[in-house]
Amino acid sequence: MTKLSVNINKVATLRNARGGNHPDVLRVAADCEMFGADGITVHPRPDERHIRYADVRAIRPQITTELNIEGNPIDRYIDLVLEVKPTQVTLVPDAEDQITSNHGWDTKANRAFLTDVVGRFREAGIRTSIFVDPSVEMVGYAKECGADRVELYTEPYAAGYERDREAAIAPFVAAAEEARRIGLGLNAGHDLSLQNLHFFHERIPWVDEVSIGHAIICDALYLGLHETIAMYRRAIGR
C-alpha cells in the first residue's frame, strides 16, 4: 500500500504572508489526517520562511498518523529532529537560499557524512530516508549509508510527463527496481500532481509513500481540502 503524506509547508507560507495565525497549520494538519492523509510532511528551512521550527514542535504531539520531517541536516535541524522524534526524517541537500529543493544527494561523495547522520537518527529510533535523484548508483550508496528508505526526487518526471511520460518514468522505474532489489524502502516526491501521480503509481506500485504539498494546496483552492485528498488517494489506488 502506498501512503499519502501531505506536505503543509505551503499552508505555513500563506499564514506567514500576513503574520497572525490564519490559516492555522495545526488545524490544517489535523484536518488533513481526518480527510485521509496517512502522514504529514514538514520541511523547515534555516530562514523559516515556510514552516517554522516552533510549528514542528507544536505539531508533533497532535499527529495521529506519521510525521515526516524533511531538511538539510545542519546542526540545528539535527537537534530539532532528535528532540521531536518524528516517524521519519528525510535528508535533503538544500542550499540555504533555494526557493525549493532541486536535486538529491550525491550519496557516494557524501557517504561518510550521511552514514554518521543516519546512524544518529536510527539510534534514536527514527526511520531515515535520503532524498536522491533517480540514479541506480545513488540508490545503492544510500543503502551503504544505512538508510531505511530513499525518496526519489520526482521533479524531472513531472517536468517531462506531458512531452513523453514513458521516457520520463524510465529512470525512476530503474532506480525503484534497484531499491526493491537491495531491500530499501521507497518514497517519492516533488511536483507530483493529479495529472502525473496515477501513472507514477501504476508503474511503481511498490512505492511506500508519496509526499505532496504544492499541487495539493493549489487543487484545494478549487476543490476543497477534503475532496482533494480523496482524489490523491484514489490516484494511488486507495
Annotated binding residues for 1-deoxy-D-xylulose 5-phosphate, written as ranges, equal: 45, 50, 100
Considering the complex, state which of residue 152 and residue 184 has its C-beta at the smaller distance from ligand DXP: 152
Q: Which does 50 bind (CB under 5 to 8 A by kind): ligand LD2JLWAY, ligand DXP, none?
A: ligand DXP
Chain-centroid distance of CA 7 in Å reads 7
Residue 100 contacts ligand DXP per CB under 6 A: yes
Residue 215 touches which of ligand DXP, ligand LD2JLWAY, none (CB < 5 to 8 A by kind)? ligand LD2JLWAY
Those residues with Cβ within 8 angstroms of residue 236's Cβ, 6 or more apart along the chain or in another chain: 2, 4, 197, 198, 201, 210
What Å distances lie between residue 234 and 61, 153, 173, CA to CA?
28, 22, 21
Could you list the residues known to form a binding site for 3-amino-2-oxopropyl phosphate, using ranges: 7, 18, 191, 213-214
Helix boundaries (H) for 124-185? 136-144, 155-160, 165-182
Does residue number 43 form part of the binding site for ligand DXP (CB under 6 A)?
Answer: yes
Catalytic residue among 33, 151, 178, 190: 190
Helix, strand, or coil (residue 85): coil
Contact between 189 and ligand DXP per CB under 6 A:
yes
Q: What angle do CA 47, 121, 236 make, to 5 degrees?
A: 80
The answer to whether residue 41 forms part of the interface with ligand LD2JLWAY (CB under 6 A) is yes
Which of 186, 215, 235, 236 forms a contact with ligand LD2JLWAY (CB under 6 A)?
215
Nearest Cα to 51, choosing from 33, 38, 68? 68
The cell numbers describing 203, all together, are 508503474
Q: Does 190 bind ligand DXP (CB under 6 A)?
A: yes
